[in-house]
Amino acid sequence: MLKIEGLTAEIEGKQILKGIDLEVPTGEIHAIMGPNGSGKSTLSYVLSGREGYEITGGSATFNGVDLLSMEPEERAASGLFLAFQYPVELPGVGNANFLRTALNAIRKSKGEPEIDAMQFLKLARTKLKTLQMADDMLKRNVNVGFSGGEKKRNEVLQMALLEPSLAILDETDSGLDIDALKIVADGVNAMRGPGFSALVITHYQRLLDYIVPDRVHVLIGGRIVKSGGKELALELEAEGYAKVAA
């Protein structure tokens, strides 16, 4: 279970997170919605360990372990995965090499044997197929020249390969066409189960038709101002943040 209590954080002296309280029990999928600039991505970066954020108070634990004191790679090894709102381009790094290196790094930290290039290709091809991605995505440099939608699918491919126990999906639906949205949602739903939790950040209730959340939270001005069931998303869509949060 992910447990966040009174989490406050600032960047360059500017306070962004102003006391976040949030619990995602194991096996559940929660959605976070909120206006632009409210701190959703900041929360996802702070949880995954990006540098540059000053944590000024509160705590975040994952299965009882303090997340905030770990290096980013240790958090990933312990099962945390962030699907980036803006996936990063890595010119000169082949996608297959990147994916296999990441997979082996995580396997190694779990004491599992590394998998070789042949085994990896086989595994990657089956995942590509379920995500309806072309095989040549593996040959290209990571995210370089990928369309917006291809980048998002590449994030989901990484999630499918690394099999995290907690996934934070930061606007993974933005930029996806209708078919891709379903494919990506299927990818997330396929992982659903007692050992998997997710925090799905989105602006659109439509995604939540496909990935049905157990809870919906509204984040405004660095705080969770309201939480509810999946119907809260519909309410937000109909009435806007101002009214719902009031």
Partner 1 sequence: MSAQPSGATAFLARFDGLRDHLPGGRLPWVAKLRADAAEAFRAAGLPGRRVEAWRYTDLAPIAQAGFTEALTFVDEAPALPPMRAPYRAVFVDGRFAESLSVMPAGYRCGSLAAGLDGAEFLLGTLAQPLPLVALNTMLFEDGLLLDLPAGQDGGVLELLSIASHTGRPIAFHPRHLIRLGAGASLTLIETSLGPAEAAYLHNPVYEIGIGADAKLSHVRIQREGRSGFQLATVLAAVQAGGVYDNFTLNAGARLVRNEIHTALLGPKAACHMNGAQLAGDGQHADTTTFLDHAAPDCASRQTYKTVLAGKSRGVFQGKILVRQAAQRTDGYQMNQALLLSDDAEIDAKPQLEIYADDVKCSHGATVGALDEAQLFYLRARGIPAEQARAMLVQAFLVEAIEGVTDPIAQAALAEATDGWWEREAA
Ligand X SMILES: Nc1ncnc2c1ncn2[C@@H]1O[C@H](COP(=O)(O)OP(=O)(O)OP(=O)(O)O)[C@@H](O)[C@H]1O
Cβ contact 123:169 at 8 Å: no
**Contact footprint for Mg ion (CB under 5 A):** 40-41, 85
Rounded Cα distance between 210 and 171, Å, is: 14
| β-bridge partners, 14 | 11
Rounded Cα distance between 175 and 163, Å, is: 24
Q: Does 73 bind partner 1 (CB under 8 A)?
A: yes
* Least separation in angstroms between CB 42 and ligand X: 3
Q: Does 98 bind partner 1 (CB under 8 A)?
A: yes
Q: What are phi and psi of 155, to 5 degrees?
A: -65, -45
Q: Does 199 bind partner 1 (CB under 8 A)?
A: no
* Least separation in angstroms between CB 54 and partner 1: 16
> Which of partner 1, ligand X, Mg ion, none does residue 15 bind to, with CB < 5 to 8 Å depending on kind?
none
Cβ contact 41:222 at 8 Å: no
> Which of Mg ion, ligand X, partner 1, none does residue 37 bind to, with CB < 5 to 8 Å depending on kind?
ligand X
Segment contacting partner 1 by CB under 8 A, of 95-103, 111-119, 193-201, 228-236:
95-103
Our CB check for Mg ion shows the closer of 38 and 154 to be 38
* Segment 105 to 144, residues that bind partner 1, using CB under 8 A: 105-106, 109
Residue 191, SS3?
helix
Out of 13, 36, 64, 91, name the contact with partner 1 by CB under 8 A.
Answer: 91
* Residue spans of beta strands (DSSP E) within the chain: 2-11, 14-24, 29-33, 53-62, 65-66, 80-83, 90-94, 141-142, 166-170, 197-201, 215-220, 223-228
| β-bridge partners, 119 | none
Our CB check for Mg ion shows the closer of 159 and 161 to be 159
> Which of partner 1, ligand X, Mg ion, none does residue 130 bind to, with CB < 5 to 8 Å depending on kind?
none
* Least separation in angstroms between CB 74 and Mg ion: 24
Cβ contact 44:170 at 8 Å: yes
Out of 71, 136, 147, 246, name the contact with partner 1 by CB under 8 A.
Answer: 71
Rounded Cα distance between 2 and 9, Å, is: 18
* 38 DSSP assignment: S
Size of site (CB under 8 A) for partner 1: 28
Structure tokens at 119: 């085994």
**Contact footprint for ligand X (CB under 6 A):** 11-12, 14, 16, 34, 36-42, 85
Structure tokens at 149: 């939608």
Our CB check for partner 1 shows the closer of 50 and 206 to be 50
What is the binding site for partner 1 (CB under 8 A)?
48-52, 71-73, 75-77, 81-82, 84, 87-88, 90-93, 98, 101-102, 105-106, 109, 158, 162
